[in-house]
Amino acid sequence: MRAIVCNAYGDPRDLVLTDVPAPSASAGEVIIQVEAAGLGYVDALHVRGGYQVKKPLPFIPGSEVAGLIIAIGSNVSPELMGQRVTALSSNGGLAEQIAVPATSCMQLPDGFSSDAAASALLNYCTGLYGLETCGQLRAGETVLVLGASGGVGLAAIDIAKGLGATVAAAASSDDKLASCRARGADLTVNYSQPDWRKTLETELAGRPLTVIYDPVGGAWSETAFRCLSPGGRHLVVGFAGGEIPRIPLNLPLLKRSSIVGVDWGGYVRNNSADATPVMQRLADLVSSGKITPRPTATYPLDEAPWALEQLMTRGNVGKPVIVFPH
Ligand X SMILES: NC(=O)c1ccc[n+]([C@@H]2O[C@H](COP(=O)([O-])OP(=O)(O)OC[C@H]3O[C@@H](n4cnc5c(N)ncnc54)[C@H](OP(=O)(O)O)[C@@H]3O)[C@@H](O)[C@H]2O)c1
DSSP labels, 283-312: HHHHHTTS-----SEEE-GGGHHHHHHHHH
- Binding segment for ligand X (CB under 6 A), chosen from 58-66, 195-203, 298-306, 309-317, is 309-317
CA dist., res. 45 & res. 50, Å (int): 5
Binding ligand X by CB under 6 A: which of 25, 121, 134, 240?
240
Q: Which is nearer to ligand X, 108 or 171 (CB)?
A: 171
| Binds ligand X (CB under 6 A): choice among 60, 227, 311, 323 | 311
Given 60, 171, 187, 227, the residue binding ligand X (CB under 6 A): 171
Q: Can residue 124 be called a binding residue for ligand X (CB under 6 A)?
A: no
SS3 state at 5: strand
Select from 23, 92, 215, 245 the one that contacts ligand X (CB under 6 A).
Answer: 215
The answer for residues whose C-beta is within 8 angstroms of residue 43's C-beta and 6 or more apart is 61, 62, 63, 308, 311
Cα torsion through 291, 210, 226, 124, rounded to 10: -20
Contacts of 100 by beta carbon, 8 Å cutoff, 6+ apart: 29, 30, 32, 65, 87, 88, 89, 92
Window contacting ligand X (CB under 6 A); options: 73-81, 118-126, 198-206, 290-298: 118-126
Smaller CB separation from ligand X, 232 or 238: 238
Are the CB atoms for 50 and 238 separated by under 8 Å?
A: no
- Going by C-alpha positions, the residue among 47, 49, 41, 37 that lies closest to residue 93 is 37
Q: Does 304 sit near ligand X (CB under 6 A)?
A: no
Q: What is the CA radius of gyration of the chain?
A: 20
149 binds ligand X (CB under 6 A): yes
Q: What is the DSSP letter of 87?
A: E
Q: Is 28 in the site for ligand X (CB under 6 A)?
A: no
Q: Residue 22, Cα to own-chain centre: how many angstroms?
A: 27
Site size toward ligand X (CB under 6 A) is 30
Task: Please pick, from the candidates 38, 135, 150, 245, the single residue that binds ligand X as defined by CB under 6 A.
Answer: 150
Is there binding between residue 322 and ligand X (CB under 6 A)?
no
User: Closest by alpha carbon to 267, among 153, 147, 132?
Assistant: 132
Q: How far is the CB of 162 from ligand X (least distance, A)?
A: 18
Q: Assess 66 for contact with ligand X (CB under 6 A).
A: no
Q: Which stretch binds ligand X (CB under 6 A): 7-15, 88-96, 122-130, 178-186?
A: 122-130
Q: Is 262 in the site for ligand X (CB under 6 A)?
A: yes
Comparing CB distances to ligand X, the nearer of 106 and 216 is 216
* Binding flag, residue 63, ligand X (CB under 6 A): no
Q: Which of 31, 36, 42, 321 binds ligand X (CB under 6 A)?
A: 42
E strand or H helix at 151, and its extent?
helix 151-162
Which CA distances in Å does 318 have to 41, 122, 195, 302, 314? 11, 13, 25, 20, 11
216 is a contact residue toward ligand X (CB under 6 A):
yes
User: Contact region for ligand X (CB under 6 A) — 15-23, 238-246, 281-289, 294-302?
Assistant: 238-246
If one counts every other C-beta atom within 10 angstroms of the C-beta of residue 150, the result is 28
281 touches 264 (CB < 8 A): no
Shortest distance, CB of residue 171 to ligand X, whole angstroms? 3
Tell me which of 9, 239, 299, 306 binds ligand X, using CB under 6 A: 239
Q: Give the nearer residue to ligand X in terms of CB position, either 40 or 62.
A: 40
What is the distance, to the nearest Å, from the Cα of residue 116 to the centroid of all Cα atoms in its chain? 13
Residues that bind ligand X (CB under 6 A): 40-42, 122-123, 126, 147, 149-153, 171-172, 176, 215-216, 237-242, 262-265, 311, 314, 316
